[in-house]
Amino acid sequence: MQPPPASAQAIVCHELTKQFGDFRAVDKITLSVAQGEIFGFLGANGAGKTTAMRMLCGLSYPSAGQATVAGFDVYRQQEKIKQNIGYMSQKFSLYENLTILENIEFFGGIYGLSNQQLRAKSEELITTLGLHKEAKKLVGSLPLGWKQKLAFSVAIIHEPKIVFLDEPTGGVDPVTRRQFWDLIYAAADRGITNFVTTHYMDEAEYCNRVSIMVDGRVEALDSPANLKLQYHADSMDEVFYQLARGAQRGE
Residues making contact with other proteins (CB under 8 A): 43-46, 90, 134, 140-146, 167, 170-176, 178, 181, 185, 199-202, 205-206, 224-225, 235-237, 240-241, 244-245, 247, 250-251
Q: Residue 164 Cβ, how far from other proteins at the closest point, in Å?
A: 17
248 in helix, strand or coil? coil
Q: Which of 118, 198, 92, 108 is nearest to 156 (CA)?
A: 108
For other proteins, give the closer residue by CB, 80 or 228.
228
Q: Residue 240 Cβ, how far from other proteins at the closest point, in Å?
A: 5
For other proteins, give the closer residue by CB, 81 or 207.
207
Q: Residue 50 Cβ, how far from other proteins at the closest point, in Å?
A: 11
For other proteins, give the closer residue by CB, 76 or 245.
245
For other proteins, give the closer residue by CB, 32 or 176.
176
- DSSP per-residue string spanning 99-147: BHHHHHHHHHHHTT--HHHHHHHHHHHHHHHT-GGGTTSBGGGS-HHHH
For other proteins, give the closer residue by CB, 181 or 231.
181
Phi-psi region of 142 (alpha: psi -120 to 50; beta: other; left: phi over 0): beta
177 in helix, strand or coil? helix
Q: Residue 115 Cβ, how far from other proteins at the closest point, in Å?
A: 30
In contact, 95 and 147? CB cutoff 8 Å: no
Is residue 31 packed enough to be buried (19+ CB in 10 Å), middle (13-18) or exposed (0-12)?
middle
Return the number of other C-beta atoms located less than 10 Å from residue 133's C-beta: 8
Q: Residue 214 Cβ, how far from other proteins at the closest point, in Å?
A: 10
